[in-house]
Amino acid sequence: MDPHQKTILADDFGVGFTCHYLVDQHGFEDFGDTNYVIKHMLKGKALLKKPPKKRGAAKSPDFIAVDGLGRLHVLECKGTQSSRTYLKKAMEKGRDQKLNISSTRGTFKTSMVGGLYVPLHKARADAELVFLDPEPNEELIELGKLGRRTIANAVRRVSLSKMLSSVGLWQAATTVFDGTTEFIDPRFVRDIKNFGLRFAGFELNSAADRYEREVEYRSFEPRGRDRSQLDGYMTRLKLSVPENITDLFSKDVISEKGVLPRSVVDQWIGEALSKRRRKYEVTYQKKIVYENDRAAANQPLYKEAHRKIKGSWTESSEAEMNLGKTDYSSVTTGQGFSLEIERRRFE
């Protein structure tokens, strides 16, 4: 693989695995790109002394996140396939941190860097995901003065906007982001049922209370290293949008001038999360503390432990769905959007 492509893939893994871990193990619900939250959603409210930098200690963290308890977290994601140097340093600095991630004072519950090392094929080293506390960020201190609720609402709106865009409803995404239909055809959002959803290829599944869209394709791929032998595969992708999305994008909500009140968006998001939020138990490995090195000799370093958290995302896999040899996985966000992918061989 081209080195540039490897770098991009490592970065994507760094973001994806880190965020998935926080959703699964700590009940995180929404992630908002920090620059988007600061520049757009909080425009006119956040007074920044300096523009955010792209590199170095003053660089804005990747995300501001909100968990199932409404707490705010600052997150920077790193990923690499070629070096563990910075991850080793991170482990040294953060070795005494608790697994539930140490808390910080103020508006933000935690401020962290998540680093993922993905070993190359046949490498002896194992993959690692590490968290540590970074240095305080000046602009986030200023942002924190706006209050937790204001920031959390902005993060959730950014999250909704990106989710709408990812399923093909970019007009609706733009409206949530800008709060207006000034730059788009208002019909696509003032009557999303007959315009936006239909144009994007969604159809209503009344039994599931969802609008669904499927993409399916077939391919022939080499059988292992023997490129002379090809196997056929069918890959199916299903995108689902909650039916009540039409409550948000309608003529009753969006004015004739194309204005979508942010208070209405915040209410819709809050109701969606309340319906899906639940408490559940997770299993993790807890570090065992021994009195001294002698007591720790030849003893296990970790033990299995359990804790309950509150979150709104759900997942399922091929084993849970009892699909046999079919590869299947699905995830549903706290706001009710879902992604399903199924892959199987065909003769």
Q: How confident is the model at residue 216 (pLDDT cuts 50, 70, 90)?
A: very high
**Domain ranges for the chain:** 3-147, 167-277+315-346, 279-311
Tens-digit pLDDT profile for residues 280-319:
999 888 878 777 776 777 778 788 999 999 999 999 886 5
Distance from CA of residue 22 to its chain's centroid?
9
Distance from CA of residue 338 to its chain's centroid?
12
Q: How confident is the model at residue 99 (pLDDT cuts 50, 70, 90)?
A: very low
Residue 249 to residue 175: CA distance in whole angstroms: 9
pTM over 0.75: yes
**Residue scoring higher pLDDT (45 or 228):** 228
User: Measuring CA to CA, which residue among 29, 338, 30, 330 is closest to residue 202?
Assistant: 338
| Cα-based distances in Å from 87 to 5, 48, 347 | 21, 31, 45
Average of per-residue pLDDT values in the chain: 81
Tens-digit pLDDT profile for residues 163-205:
999 999 999 999 999 999 888 888 889 999 999 999 999 999 9
The b-or-e profile of 132-153 (16+ CB within 10 A means b, else e) is bbbeebebbeebbeeebebbbb
| Cα-based distances in Å from 146 to 143, 179, 207 | 6, 20, 43
Under 8 Å between Cβ of 116 and 78: yes
Kindly give the interhelix angle for 170-178 and 148-166, rounded to the nearest 10 degrees.
160
Tens-digit pLDDT profile for residues 49-98:
555 555 544 456 788 999 999 999 988 877 666 656 656 664 444 333 32
Q: How confident is the model at residue 263 (pLDDT cuts 50, 70, 90)?
A: very high
Residue 268 to residue 248: CA distance in whole angstroms: 7
Q: What is the pLDDT of residue 222?
A: 86
Phi first, then psi: give them for residue 222, nearest 5 degrees: -60, 145
